[in-house]
Amino acid sequence: MTPQQRKRGMAPQAIELPKVDIAPDAVNVLEGSTFMVSDVRGDVQESTVAGFFHDDTRYLSRFVLTVDGAKLDPLTADNINYYSAAFYLTNPELPELKQRSFSVRRARFIGDGLTEEIWIKNHLDTPVRLRAQLLCAVDFADLFEVKSMDVEKQGTLRITPDEARTRLHYDYVNGTFRARAQIRSSAAGSVSDDGFLFDLSLEPRAEWSTKVDVLVHQNDEFLEPIHRAFADPEKEGELLLKKWRDEVPRLRSSWDLLHHVYRKSIVDLAALRLRTDFGKEEYFLPAAGLPWFMAIFGRDTIITSYQSLWVGPELVRGALHALAELQGKKVNDFKDEQPGKIPHELRFGELTALGLKPHSPYYGTCDATPLWLILLSEYWRFTHDDRCINELRKNAMAALAWIDQYGDADGDGYVEYKTRSSQGLDNQGWKDSGDGITFADGQIARAPIALAEIQGYVFDAKRRIAELAELVWKDDELAARLRRESAELAERFERDFWIDARGGYYALGLDKDKLLIDSKTSNMGHLLWSGIISEERASVIAKQLLGEDMFSGWGVRTLSTEDVAFNPIGYHTGTVWPHDNSIIAEGFMRYGLREEARTIIHAMLEASRFTGYRLPEAFAGYPKETNAFPVRYPTACSPQAWATAAPFLFMKTMLGIGVVDGKLVCDPLVHERFGHIVLHGLHAFGSHYDVIWDGMSGEVSETK
């Protein structure tokens, strides 16, 4: 037993893996805060986590199509694009009908509401009589209830079929919370509380169809679905997607893998965009991921925006303004809110509306505030949008005040966290699972905790805001103070966080007793990204991160295999996260460690070959040498925003794209065997630029 173990006096704790709650073959469609999860038949079964969701409320908890009382046999199912999917099915053996006598096609479209077209085609040369039933239920469950699979509604639900036999009305009330929905069919049939029943007589080779709409009630009206066909270019949603595709930079490359990954990430990021308005302004910004995180998340939204700045700066501007509007105004322990603090998560479901959950918004994040300042700086460096920086100056000053006052509650010079909420997160860095912060011996660290990477974020944020103070706000006194504070922090950090053991590395953090949390983690790579550590120790950290215990062959693991808590399928205790690796790679590049950066980028891009060119939220930490392909973490979000945007940061790092003295530059580290790469129309300084790698050298030119 180590001295730290004796002092803590804590026994090892069992770590419970999260359950697999979304079937791997589920079909997902989404549009903004509206999404649907179903099985390969297109069905939503009761007592599962599947359903149709809008603004964190489930508007379909059952949506099952049967024929003559039997479930249909799936043939194939797939997404057409992010907001639509098609399902092809046929009949099983039935008492009066042999197998595969007819086909069923379901075409589904998501956007504000849901539209589904159902066709049944008789393939026989004789008439058939069928009874098709669409079983429906709406439980208006809060997303938190669905995710925990603990749905016990306390309100009153009224279901009313209409006399025209084409519509069902649902009305739910619980105190001040009210939700309403309609399900309507274009074809008449028998309507009951359970759904729709259609008695069909199909002539030889004949077809029957109906169009089913699910309408959600918002702002005193039912929203009409915005998508109704696969080719629907005149609709608002399709126009927005076309506009996005037209405006993002175009890639030409002889490296086929890069082309596939880039194209997939562009479409997925479009799918994850939220449109929201605060006051008179409307903003687009990235949500965190499907299925559970189609919402504004401080940390995820900020990092995704940072990764994709050169692709779509309007998303970054939207994220900055939206999060500034939600910035903490007062001390509220239930919400972990404090003045100047950037929020963690915003939700709209029943539990939040009734004040039973603190997510209106919830502020339990320690890193979002310095990260918001970093994003503000990076946005200015690539846009020189002085107006935006001036508009957000008060918010930036409030964020700095939070760092110094509330973030450093005990005055030791480090930002730390400890929840004050009865429903708060115990861990408030990016590794925010309950077992995410452990000592090398497996013991779970206790709050207040000062995480290493957050000190790096604060260091970088103060240096960056000093630049804005000097060049935009013309406040030399503020600039000097921030530079002094960042230098003092770096000196203090080197003294307090370095560990000589195991070849030398930085501790994960300091616990409540100021003991070094001595696990070896990927968080060290974030220190390179922030620039807080010395040049002399950068190569030592790079060697640690790419050592056999940390580097799986597909990417850097979150935790060393040498540590007791290591688990290759532990959420934050041994998995490989693409966003984490994108930050580490850029950190390597910052210190001139070009080959190390290239190692990570190539490994990650190669991993995407096995996941349809879409990087998932996380991979298992199994070694590449004993596994022919990377294994997805079982409950990984897909798509997930900062994994979706990771290839953009990989490309930025790989091409050495940056701003020096107000000019766009590139310094590629691409291996010559990958041939040419051309990014046409990169966004910077209110104009567009081409970045060209011809296999030998890089060039930047303004687009004519």
**Structure-model confidence comparison of residues 277 and 37, the more confident one:** 37
For 44-87, the DSSP string reads: B-TTSS-EEEETTEEEESEEEEEETTEEPEEEEEEEEETTEEEE
Question: CA-CA distance, 465 to 470, in Å (whole number)?
Answer: 8
Residue 634's pLDDT is what?
81
| Integer Cα distance of 371 and 458 in angstroms | 8
pTM of the model: 0.89
CATH 1.50.10.10: does it fit domain 248-432+551-654?
Answer: yes
Give the mean pLDDT of 443-447.
97
* SS3 letters across 152-207: CCCCEEEEEECCCCCEEEEEEEECCEEEEEEEEECCCCEEECCEEEEEEEECCCCE
Classify 243 as helix, strand or coil: helix
SS3 35: strand
Q: Is the pLDDT of residue 296 over 50?
A: yes
**For 288-367, where are the alpha helices, taking DSSP H only?**
298-307, 313-325, 350-353
Q: Say if strands 51-54 and 34-38 run parallel, antiparallel, or are unpaired.
A: antiparallel
Tokens of 23: 């079937």
Which among 357, 271, 287 has a CA at the least distance from the CA of 322?
287
**Which pLDDT tens digit goes with each residue over 112-128?**
899 999 999 999 999 99
The phi and psi torsions of 491 (rounded to 5 degrees) equal: -65, -45
Distance CA 223, CA 10 (A): 55
Res. 148 pLDDT band, cuts 50 70 90: confident
Q: Where in the chain is the domain with CATH 2.70.98.40?
A: 27-223
Residue 579 three-state SS:
helix
Judge whether residue 136 has pLDDT over 80: yes
The span from the first CA to the last CA of the chain, in angstroms, equals: 68
Distances (CA, A) of 524 to 157, 319, 461, 508, 656: 52, 26, 17, 8, 22
Q: Is the pLDDT of residue 697 over 90?
A: no
Percent of the chain with pLDDT over 90: 77
Q: Residue 684 and residue 644: Cα distance in Å, rounded?
A: 21
Q: Where along the chain do the CATH 1.50.10.10 domains lie?
A: 248-432+551-654
The residues near 703 (Cβ < 8 Å, ≥ 6 apart) are 680, 681, 687, 688, 689, 690
Distances in whole angstroms, Cα of residue 554 to Cα of each of 295, 562, 601: 29, 18, 9
The residue assigned the tokens 């011996």 is 441
- Helix/strand/coil percentages in the chain, nearest 5: 30, 30, 40
Q: Look at residue 16 in the predicted model and tell me its pLDDT.
A: 35
Q: Choose the most confident range, by mean pLDDT, from 97-111, 506-520, 614-628, 668-682.
A: 506-520
pLDDT digits (tens, 9 = 90+) for 383-417: 999 999 999 999 999 999 999 999 999 999 999 99
The yes-or-no verdict on residue 46 having pLDDT over 50 is: yes
Q: Which residues of 380-414 are buried (b: 16+ CB within 10 A; e: fewer)?
A: bbbbbbeebbeebbebbebbbebbeebbbeeeebb
Mean pLDDT, residues 330-344 taken together: 97
CA–chain centroid gap for 418, Å, is 24
**Please, what CATH class does the domain formed by 27-223 belong to?**
mainly beta
Enumerate the β-bridge partners of residue 122. 102
Segment 615-643 shows an average pLDDT of 90
Most confident of 25-39, 156-170, 209-223, 605-619: 605-619
Across the chain, what does the average pLDDT equal? Answer: 90
Out of 19-23, 101-105, 670-674, pick the least confident: 19-23
SS3 of 593-626: the string is CHHHHHHHHHHHHHHHHHHCCCCCCCECCCCHHH
